[in-house]
Structure 1
Amino acid sequence: MTTNPLVEFLASYGPQASSNNLYDEFVVEAAMDTGCAPLEIEQPLVNELASMFKSQSPRSVILTGTAGDGKTYTARKVVEAIAGPDAIWQTTDKIFDLSVPSCPERRIRFIKDLSELKEGDKDTLFPEVKASLLAKGSDTFVICVNDGHLLKFFRDREVEGVKLHDRIADMLQNDEEHDPNGHFRLINMSRQSHRDLFERILDGIVDHPGWAECTGCHALDSAEQPCPIRANLEILRQKDPASMRARLKDMIRMAAADGQHLSIRQLILLTVNILLGDQKPGKELLTCQKAKNRAADDDYCATNPYANAFGQNLRERQRRQYGAFAILEEFGIGLETNNFFDHSLLWDTDELPGDPIYGARIFASHRERYRIDPSANAQDFRREMLDQRRRLFFSIDPDSKMVREDPRRNPWNLSVFKCGATYIRLADGAEQGAVPRDIARDIIRGLNRMMTGEMTNTDDRLWLTEPSGVYLGREIPLLVAHAGRQREGPTFISFPPMQGNGKAPVLRFTPMQRGDLAVDLPLRPTLVECILRIANGALPASFSSECRRDIERFQLKAVTAIHEASRPHHPPPQEVEMVGGTLQSRPIAALVEEESW
């Protein structure tokens, strides 16, 4: 059997203690040790920055973001794009100097990690950095640093004059990339599109030229005992809507919208674990020899990529150390199900997609043993059912005709996000500037039910009630502050276009054409799931306290905006009641009489 050094190289990115390749400064050395080309991940930002530095007016750039977001990698690729692949800094270099092609007397100074410099070195460097960011210095900088260290660097050293600390803090808070005075760029690598980033990582791994080294291995062409590494590789290659790649992109996108950022480092680790994960005792990742052994023993249960995606090849304590597995585990994939999926799996119907390796081949024997003696085989069968549900989640297109005709087949029924497919449609619509009308109406109906406590069917306008829930007897359930029609009249609600940067879409309330007083409700996946479940019949009192707080904050801000926009005449409170499933309002008699006094 051929041993491919690429497998060893990729394993160094996986969930094991020796994964130094997760840090850019070790990448080139590791590639040389194994004889593999470094892992290349397309980064459109590289060519953009290289062109800017080659121009007559280069500007300094700050690359910030959380650890593992590719700051140093991007800086290194910019150096290569400007000066060629031979212009590589050594791992011991803290600062790498490069001449500006258009002006040889000027330098570009690449600071690989500002936080790693000694305090004395930072003090020496500070005047040059500040001058450059104010367009007064002779050098241009590329500074790699996380947010906290960046702000501390300026806060500890700025005594008088222009306060760059305050300017940078505002830019970070408002997600602004360009300095108001046009002197530098602040690029937050954590704000990249997770979906596109993951696509590039997958392509970089599955299209790596090192896979050609598998040529000549008998397992490569074996139909009876196929190599599990190559089998998993083919699963990751697939790009159609009914693929593992498509569902993972959806999950990563939803996690980002819920405020759970996955860095490049974690996404690479996740991909490698899907590809090489091994549940047999010992090391957690496959080698070529171990892959041969699993194939010879027909033990593909141990190499199941649909389980590896959730770190099932790791002990629980290990799994918790890695953000990728902890975040994906929160989707509850396979822990949720319905009768359609379980009946089809138990009785082996032809209504579900199969898999030549990870379907009946590993499941049929467990199913038969369970049928013969359920009590003795229940535990093993439950575990195998869980893996099969996970496989189905990654193997069904939620937008297919089959699913539209029978919603029970929707793969999102196998997760805690039953409305996951709807959320993806919502996010796609927001990016394109046109949220689907049916989703908008469902969201408005759900919000009305949550805010009024009534199972209303009103879905063409939003009824904003006081979040305190002022009760004045059974006939007066709540006080209404204002009714905003969707895109009608002086006060309206809308779903403004959003950029594909991983943020959640928003519902925007604009009182009396006062855009400066607009109030946004971020439509996080968890909140949308809550709203849509209530819109579809769940009781308004059943939503979580976290979602309740989100709605109450939105109500408070919206009511405040209404009062501010209507000064000096505040709209009088009114009763809100439901008549025939529709919300209606009327003046509160006691208050009207009081005003007449």
Structure 2
Amino acid sequence: MLNPLLKGSVPVNDNAFVAYLNRYTTASSEHEAAFDEFTSATPAGIPSLSIPTRLEKKLLDAFQSASPPTVILTGNAGDGKTYLCRKIVGAFRRLPLTVWPSHDTIHQFEFSDLLLTVVKDLSELSIATAGTVLTQLSATLAGQTGAPYLIAANEGRLRAVLEEHGLNDLAQQIDHQLRHGPDLTPNAKLLVIDLNRVATSQYIGPVLEWMTADVAWSGCGGCPVQNTCPIADNAARLRQPGIRDRLTFLYGVLEQLDIHVTFRDMLIHLAYTITGGLSCVDVKQRAQKDEITWMYEVPAYAYYNNAFGESAPAGFQRKTAAIRHLRKLNVGQESVFDLDHFIVGDDETQPDLHTALFGNSIDLGGRLFEQDRQAYLRGLSATSEAAQAFVMRWLGHCRRKAFFSHPDGDLVLKLLPFQFLKDYLQLIDLNVSLKREYIKNLLILGLNRAFSGLYLNDRHTLYVTAHPSSSLENAVPAVLMRIAETNIDLIPSHPDSAELIERWSSLTLKLQVPGVPPQIVAWNMNLLRFEYVMRRAYGSTPDILAQECELAVRHLKDNLVARLGTHRNANELEFFEYNGRSYRHRRLFFLDSPSVEQV
């Protein structure tokens, strides 16, 4: 059916900002991948993306001082290393740098008798040339000269060059800062900053605010298909702070899984979340060709589907890092009875909320969802083709919409594939001591079951066991070490305003190994490990999350065993005895006289 709004209408120019966003997504053959280019190539009348960061401000202040430090920036492609280099050079020269003076990788800039050597990308240099640069840098730090350096480098390449040229002292300084963070002492001569630690999630809101600003969408005014355009509708929905917060939260969950999304990948993902890879021409042509068919297609391009790449080509799903990771959290796949019951509409206790979320809207095909829902409720057999089509077409779709729009945060939290996410968030955000002690005891129980392979019930002592021999029938593991709960702590770490980068919060399990002196073993308790150990504590079978977590648990156990030292009593054997109902810890002492057993 021909859209009557298009009959005899005056052609309307395409929105240049939509074309700009699509030019940046990998769905386009005109893909512009450089973050530095993206921020400076916006259409006329639209301000460039500018998001001040703590790191940028502190580095700019440092390079405007009388004694600028040497800075090494590491991180993945797309973390903004080149962007930061350009900003720092501008601060050093007291003059903005809009274009690099040449295509060379090594540049030198002079200001007030100081010479700044800049390497935009160490990986573009040969090993020999990179070695020469780092050798000169090492001499600078040793005090032979005072000229600062600014180097952007992939960590692997940086370490390889240091090892190849035997720069051990410099390598140790760099390694220390990569492990423990940049040197924050006054007048530090070297700052090594790992951009992989930056919490990209905190920039979701500001970037979406810029992408959905009215000035960027003024070009849609007068468009004949504006009311059925999923791109315009997505931009309007993503202006809402609550929806932006939910998308920010998803990125935060990735970070608690120790997944860092680069700034470039985040920009690609957010651009696709708005456009779905569609152009203004696509929307107009498809709406003009057949309005009814188009209304069936529009829901597939809703922002909450685009965010998970639901309609994206398989190649785009693989290449886009944010979508590849978020698809593992795809909230449309988890069935939550209360929410599904609400979506279908059997529960009429919240009719106004149901209408607000699932009423007539273009992302639900106008009245298409309501018509299908009513047909489903009028008594269609649950096994009928129509009923199955309704469930397959709409339940996942509406779960995703509810995740972003439903006001009950605890309810939508259940859509994520974690049973203990709320507990984890309370630990890292609220830092409630009583809650932490209770969870700590559950983690001890879970680790006991994971270490031993037995269904133990002790949650107050951690038993580090030897691997049982598979050749012995009914073999039980020997206990190599006991760590009391008083020597185990669960410590949340929150970003500090004094730090150079805005990192994400973390949780660490610290264990004090008995011995003289006692040693501390710290284990990063990210969300996935926390989920695995908690499931083991509640009796889950080991195959749940085994591939992702069992190796990490084994490494923790081996790390503890390696610190046994000589404090163990050679005449003592500890093990577990099965009494028909449970396993009991036993101790056996060997004396010169016949052995004496002690419980």
TM-score normalised by L of structure 2: 0.79
Residues 346-425 of structure 1: matches in 2 within 5 Å? 346-347=344-345, 349-350=347-348, 354-355=356-357, 357=361, 358=363, 361=366, 363-368=369-374, 372=380, 374-376=384-386, 378-379=388-389, 381-396=391-406, 400=409, 403=410, 410-425=411-426
SS in 1 for 2:72: strand
Matched, 1:261 2:260: yes
Q: Does 1:448 align with 2:448?
A: yes
SS at match of 2:76: coil
CA distance in 1, matches of 2:418, 2:543: 19
- What is the 5 A alignment of 1:101-180? 104-117=112-125, 122=130, 125=133, 128-156=136-164, 158=165, 163-164=168-169, 166-167=171-172, 170-171=175-176, 174-178=179-183
Q: Is the 8 A contact 1:334 1:387 kept in 2?
A: yes
Secondary structure, aligned partner of 1:136: coil
Equivalence for 1:479: 478
For residue 202 of structure 1, what is the aligned residue in structure 2? Answer: 208
Q: Distance in 2 between matches of 1:189 and 1:345?
A: 42
Q: Which residue of 1 aligns with 2:59?
A: 49
* Structure 1 residue 508, shift from structure 2 partner: 1.4
Instruction: Name the residue aligned to 1:71.
Output: 81
Q: 1:407 matched to which residue of 2?
A: none
CA-CA distance at 1:452 after TM superposition:
4.5
Structure 1 residue 5 corresponds to structure 2 residue 16: yes
Q: Deviation per CA, 1:194-245: give whole Å up to 9, x if none.
A: 33244443344345x742634844689x8xx2653343234333334xx3x3
Distance 2:247 2:573 in 1: 48
SS in 2 for 1:30: coil
Question: Which residue number corresponds to residue 535 of structure 2?
Answer: 533
Change over 3 Å in CA distance of 1:417–1:171 after alignment to 2: same
Deviation at 1:310, TM superposition (A): 1.3
Matches within 5 A, 1:250-289: 250-277=249-276, 284-287=277-280
CA–CA separation in structure 1 for the residues paired with 2:519 and 2:118: 42
Q: Which letter maps to 2:121?
A: D
Whether contact under 8 Å (1:99, 1:105) holds in the other structure is yes
Which letter does structure 1 place at the counterpart of 2:529? L
1:115 and 1:145 in contact (8 A); partners too: yes
**Higher mean displacement: 345-354 or 587-596:** 587-596
Cα deviation 1:393-417 (Å, max 9, x = unaligned): 333466x5xx4xxxxxx32433322
Q: Which residue of 2 aligns with 1:439?
A: 439
Structure 1 pair 588–24 and aligned structure 2 pair: CA distance change class (3 A): same
2:302 to 301, 304, 323: 304
Measure the CA separation in 2 of the matches of 1:88 and 1:543. 49
Within the candidate set 497, 511, 520, 1:518 is matched to 520
Aligned-pair distance for 1:142?
A: 1.4
What is the correspondence of 1:13-24 to structure 2 with a 5 Å cutoff? 13-18=24-29, 20-24=31-35
- State the Cα distance separating 1:583 from its structure 2 match: 7.3
1:498 and 2:498 equivalent? no
- Determine helix, strand or coil for the equivalent of 2:463: strand
1:560/1:144 CA distance change after superposition, 3 Å: closer
Q: Which of 328, 331, 334 is the matching residue for 1:330?
A: 328
Q: Which amino acid aligns with 1:337?
A: S
Query: Equivalent residue for 2:4?
Result: none
Task: Report Cα offsets for 1:525-548 as digits up to 9, x if no partner.
Answer: 222222222333434676625433
Q: Which runs of 5+ in 2 are unaligned?
A: 1-11, 496-502
8 Å Cα contact 2:523-2:556 kept in structure 1: yes
Q: CA deviation at 1:349?
A: 3.3
Query: Offset at 1:458?
Result: 4.0
Q: Percent identity?
A: 21
Deviations 1:272-298 (A, max 9, x none): 111111xxxxxx234377279669754
Partners of 1:105 and 1:522 in 2: how far apart?
Answer: 46
> 1:281 matched to which residue of 2?
none
> Once superposed, what is the RMSD of the aligned Cα atoms?
4.0
Distance 1:24 1:584, change over 3 A: same
- Note if contact 1:195-1:252 (Cα within 8 Å) is conserved in structure 2: yes
Whether the 8 Å CA contact 2:51–2:206 is kept in 1: the answer is: yes
Matched, 1:189 2:195: yes
Matched pairs, number: 560
Moved more, 583-592 or 135-144: 583-592
Q: Matches of 1:43 and 1:212 in 2, distance apart? A: 26
- Structure 2 match to 1:462: 461
Q: CA separation in 2, counterparts of 1:227 and 1:516? A: 65
Work out the CA distance in 2 between the residues paired with 1:83 and 1:363: 60
Q: Structure 2: how far apart are the matches of 1:196 and 1:258?
A: 16
Larger mean CA deviation between 134-143 and 570-579 belongs to 570-579
Q: 1:200 to 1:148 in 2, by over 3 A?
A: farther
Look up the SS of the partner of 1:436 in the other structure.
Answer: helix
SS of structure 2 residue aligned to 1:325: helix
- The letter for the 2-side match of 1:390 is R
Provide, for residues 100-144 of structure 1, a one-character-per-residue CA deviation record: whole Å limited to 9, x for no partner. 4xxx11122332223234678657755544433444334322111
Does the 8 A contact of 1:463 with 1:484 survive in 2?
Answer: yes
Superposition deviation, residue 319 in structure 1: 1.4
CA distance in 1, matches of 2:517, 2:21: 51
